[in-house]
Structure 1
Amino acid sequence: MGRFKNYLPIFGWLKDYNSASLRSDLLAAMIVTSMLIPQSLAYALLAGLPAEVGLYASIAPLVAYAVFGSSRTLSVGPVAIASLMSAAALGEVALQGSESYLAAAAMLALFSGLFLLLLGWLRLGFLASFLSHPVISGFITASGILIAFSQLKHLLGIEAGGHSLPQLVQSMLTDLSQWSPYALGLGLGVGAFLVWMRSGAVSLLTRLSVPRHQAALLAKAAPLVGIVVTILLTLWWDLEQRQVALVGAIPAGLPLLSVPNLSWSLAQQLLLPALMISIIGYVESVSVGKTLAAKRRQKIGSNQELIGLGAANLAAGFSGAFPVSGGFARSVVNFDAGAVTQMASIITAAGIALASVFLTPYLYYLPKATLAAIIMVAVLSLVDFSILKKTWRFSRSDFFAVLITILVTLIFGVEAGVSCGVIASIVLFLLRTSKPHIAEVGLVEGTEHFRNIKRHKVITDPQLLSIRVDQSLMFSNAGFLEDRIYADLAGNRQVRHVILMCSAINEIDWSALEVLEAINSRLVEQGIELHLSEVKGPVMDSLVRTGFLGHLSGKIFLSQYQAFEQLRYRSDRQLVSEV
């Protein structure tokens, strides 16, 4: 059973499942279902797909993740960012509304699933760490703005398109004369109601003696209330005859499992977008999953999450849907509602399936302006310009990386934004690894501790140069260390010993080892010995295997204090003998 738990986490919680867990999961599922139905419809609209496809993306993927996912409370399904990225990718390969567009959406989900499964099989979950969090925050902020602007056309009741901010603005200005006051009034009303429900409703319900926690959960059902009310208003005022665009006929029934029609030329166009969607979806999902798991002292496996999300996207592809990932707001609601296992997601999937069978005829009269308002209110919470202020104060390099990512995403679209974000993260990583913090250190009087001579009042010796490197030595930064040592020695003829303090060095690669050998040889030519102190065990093992220690001109010291004291004493004796 233990082996099955590693590959199928469902067995980890299913064996201890009981009636109390079922009650908790059932309550959470009811709340999440009421939240997911409008979200599914809205995000299908955002992706340029028929409304029923959003429901399809909320059935099989939820069950697949429940079997293979390691988080017990992550709620998988359609999300705003993945929907926007899907729309951008699909718009390049097929005409919206065509059969080819639907097939391409399923293929996009299929490829996303395959990429995630491959990364999970190769155990490459750690790669997500290479994406800078500030850069991802900048991308999400810009995407939230793009999503909000893309929904203005439905709010105004006009035809408009585009995948970048300039395209969207230009397209809307062209068609602005055709705007519908009824659609705008309806959308603004729903938007104002949703915003009020997030704050005012909770206070009102609390004053009515409803516990604050329950009041907050009830407020999450606001989108469903908005849908019901606007459907009734559409029927009452016959808004279809007043230029208010409706969702229209939605076929009732469950999705049919099938393999998408694979076209090699189409596959080539979708591979890169699928990879980008996979990366962003995984980063978003795993960060949410880890946050929620930590609150209950649970843990999730990064590699297993790749497999769980990969299975969910495969299920989406085979059920004619589009890419899915873990939703932040939905997962938090699921957690706060008391979900204890992924049974809540399975029950949610069953609820969406029932809605697909029995409720779809009533969704004909749902105004698109309502869904647009739901999307806009949801995604505007993603917009966080404070990241610019924070990074400006903390790190200018982070600031410019975030700013460039935001501007590229807004001006050129999400695909360019993702590419820019990945490149910016890699550049930041290389910049930081290529120029590690290196400090000349001295002894703090009365202690055995060594600190930066520029920050502390310390004891030094003119014949000793103590250098501390605060990073592992590798091909990207070894030359920087070499230049620093030579610069410190330039014009200083008193130095007889260079001590490299290795307390922060966790690894030395071959390129760095060759640089150390070159430094050692050059110092010997100048009558200077190179010593190492506080070398960690794994690093020492590597140095022993290479034979470097046999050529080292100096010694290996257990501590920097020991090196300083012994070499200072030796230098003093040598100086006396020379006199």
Structure 2
Amino acid sequence: MLHWLRHYRRAMLPGDISAGIVVAMMMIPQGMAYALVAGLPPVVGIYASIVPPALYALFGTSSTQSVGPMAIISLMTASSLAPLAAAGSPLYTTLAAQLALLSGLVLLACGLLRIGFIANFFSRPVMSGFTIGSSIVIALGQLPALLGARLPAVHLPSAVLGLASLSLLLLARSRLAPLLRRLGFKPVTADIGAKLAPMVVVLGATALVPVLGLEALGVHTTGRVPAGLPFLHLAASNAHWQALLQPALLIGFMVFLISMSGAQTLALKRAEKLHSNYELIGLGAANVGSALTGGFPVTGSISRSAVNFAAGANSQLASLITAGLLALALVAPTGWLALLPLPTLAATIIVAVLGMLDTTTLRTAWRYDRVDAAALLATAAGVLALGVEAGVVVGVALSMGALIWRASRPHIAVLGRIPGTEHFRNIERYTADTAAGLLILRVDAQLFFGNTEAVNERIEDEIAAHPGTRHLVLVLSAVNAIDTSALFALAELNATLRTRGIGLHLAEVKGPVMDRLKHSELLGALNGKLFLSTAMAWNELSSGEVMQ
């Protein structure tokens, strides 16, 4: 906070005020709706939207990040707590705050230990698959509230209100911004107006409840919303710390990942630099603050952050203004909040999560890398079939599995010389000369215990495909490391080739790799030579008989 306050200018204030007001208007229906997704009373969503963004403003480095309830984290909260307590019960509310506390402590510890790099272990396709699966689960979970009854039964007044709200919100999402632009509004104003459509629809539906007597017809509303600010306290159940630890780790991981993905996108637009470790501390403090004020786990919302950016937020002051306005909303009379119809809130949730069903990553991965596409689909299926927590585990396992699978099958190219040059390229891609008795192979990966067998098999296959080979040159220009297992494998290959009358030569060995090799016995026992370049190896080892 000291950093952005030191550079604050008066000209930045109007943008921060407008953004703070706009996001606060979004937060009221969103916060209450996401609290319902988490299985908590709606007012808890507002509690979780006051202190967390204020604490993030103290430590976070994104000027446009909007921290608070978010659909996927709410779903993970509900999934984690469902086996431990009944939704909406006092114990359930206590455990939700306890889960936020543990998640916050995990994030704080990661930030203080400077291990923000952990986000790199969750690939974008897997993250996309998790988001798609979670969005579908959330949308399906809101159908009973939307229709007023569990399928196939339908409560007609609730269904009419819910489906009408859903239709209006979908129309506003696709048509309202272009309509406002045609009416003469500036593009930014039109986009913000479209984003505020859920607030307008919620206010309109709330007004209809007393006018049409919808409660008497059986339409469920949020019920009494207690007035007043949340007070600082820490309610905890000593019997559930261990049961909450694993989900807290998963939720903490997802909080950081979701927050960073949105914040980085917006930071690039302003040429801002985010510090991952400070982000961990800011998000950790936000979750601890949520726990101390009766909330539940929170994160940076991608959609609200985008609105905050578009509304003109210049600094974290916009989040402080949002938190202040939400606090005022609870201090003011809250009787009208009790009339919010649940079918309309369900509609706002469904439209919000439908916006996360982005298939761009899937289409790109399907064309570019089917392994990534398969990982995306498997993660989405895992969330749908096994649950949210299992889906996260499946995603991490698939990310690491795909990495190991690729690393264990490195690309190895047979090189030839481009005629008239000293450049050497893959003979399958270029028209290049080879020399009788000389086989040049380039290994395009680091050599480690997981791929030594595959590399040896490929070398033997190429030697068999090139009878009469007298010299084998391994070009190591793409090898950044050779571990102990690979070192022994090279020594064994060297000994085997010696008995067969084939020299093993190394070319273009990188400096750090060479530094390590100097401490081994391989160089002294090498059945061949070290060459600074492939061209030097060609000039010395080729017999002069060039093969096309």
TM over 0.5, yes or no? yes
Aligned to 1:306: 280
Name the amino acid aligned to 1:284. Answer: I
**Helix, strand or coil for the counterpart of 1:451?**
strand
- Asked if 1:220 is matched to 2:195, the reply is yes
1:556-579 Cα shifts (integer Å, max 9, x gaps): 2222122222221xx459xxxxxx
Describe the superposition over 1:104-146 as per-residue Cα deviations: whole angstroms up to 9, x where unpaired. Answer: 0001111111222222233222222121211211111111111
Gaps of 5+ in 2: none
CA distance in 2, matches of 1:297, 1:304: 18
CA distance in 2, matches of 1:519, 1:55: 66
Report whether the alignment pairs 1:481 with 2:455. yes
Aligned to 2:421: 447
Taking structure 1 as reference, are residues 301 and 478 closer, same or farther at Cα in structure 2, changes over 3 Å only?
Answer: farther
1:221-370 equivalences under 5 Å are 221-263=196-238, 265-370=239-344
Q: CA deviation at 1:523?
A: 1.8
TM-score by length of 1: 0.91
How big is the shift at 1:51?
1.0
Equivalent residues in 2 for 1:47-126, closer than 5 Å: 47-126=38-117
Structure 2 match to 1:13: 4
Q: 2:174 aligns with which of 190, 199, 221?
A: 199
TM-score w.r.t. the length of structure 2 is 0.96
Q: CA deviation at 1:549?
A: 2.3
Aligned equivalents of 2:354, 2:36: Cα separation in 1: 17
Aligned equivalent of 1:577: none
Q: Deviations over 1:335-369 (max 9, x none)?
A: 11121211111111111111122152210111011
- In structure 1, the partner of 2:470 is 496
1:498 partner SS: strand
Bigger shift: 87-96 or 186-195?
A: 186-195
Equivalent position amino acid for 1:320 in 2: G
Aligned to 1:425: 399
Question: Which residue in the other structure is 1:161 paired with?
Answer: none
Alpha-carbon separation, structure 2, partners of 1:186 and 1:360: 22
How many correspondences in the alignment? 545
Are the equivalent residues in 1 in contact too, given 2:126–2:398 (CA < 8 A)? Answer: yes
| Partner SS for 2:228 | coil
Per the alignment, do residues 364 and 340 of structure 1 end up closer, same or farther by CA in structure 2, a change over 3 Å counting? same
* Structure 1 counterpart of 2:509, one-letter code: V
Q: In the alignment, what sits opposite 1:5?
A: none
User: 2: CA distance between counterparts of 1:436 and 1:492?
Assistant: 20
Work out whether 1:153 is the aligned partner of 2:156.
no
Given residue 278 of structure 1, which amino acid in structure 2 is its aligned partner?
G
Which ranges of 4 or more aligned residues in structure 1 deviate by more than 4 Å? 385-389
Distance in 1, matches of 2:518 and 2:62, equals 43
- Larger mean CA deviation between 300-309 and 329-338 belongs to 300-309
Q: Does 1:374 align with 2:348?
A: yes
Cα deviation, residue 44, structure 1? 0.3
Q: CA deviation at 1:38?
A: 1.0
Pick closer, same or farther for the CA change 1:84–1:553 going to 2, 3 Å: same
C-alpha distance in 2, partners of 1:567/1:459?
A: 14
Q: How many Å separate the matches in 1 of 2:320 and 2:465?
A: 73
Gaps of 5+ in 1: 1-9, 159-171, 574-579
| Distance apart, 1:216 and its partner CA | 0.8
2 CA distance for matches of 1:357 and 1:536? 66
Q: 2:439–2:466: 8 Å Cα contact kept in structure 1?
A: no
In 2, the alpha carbon distance for the partners of 1:388 and 1:333 equals 25
Q: What does residue 514 of structure 2 align with?
A: 540
Counting aligned pairs with the same residue, the percent is: 47
For residues 373 and 72 of structure 1, what CA distance do their matches in structure 2 show? 30
How far, CA to CA, are the matches of 1:485 and 1:261 in structure 2?
61
More deviation in 36-45 or 376-385? 376-385
Query: Are the structure 2 counterparts of residues 67 and 535 from structure 1 closer, same or farther at C-alpha, using a change threshold of 3 Å?
Result: same
Question: C-alpha separation between the residues in 2 aligned to 1:381 and 1:454?
Answer: 44
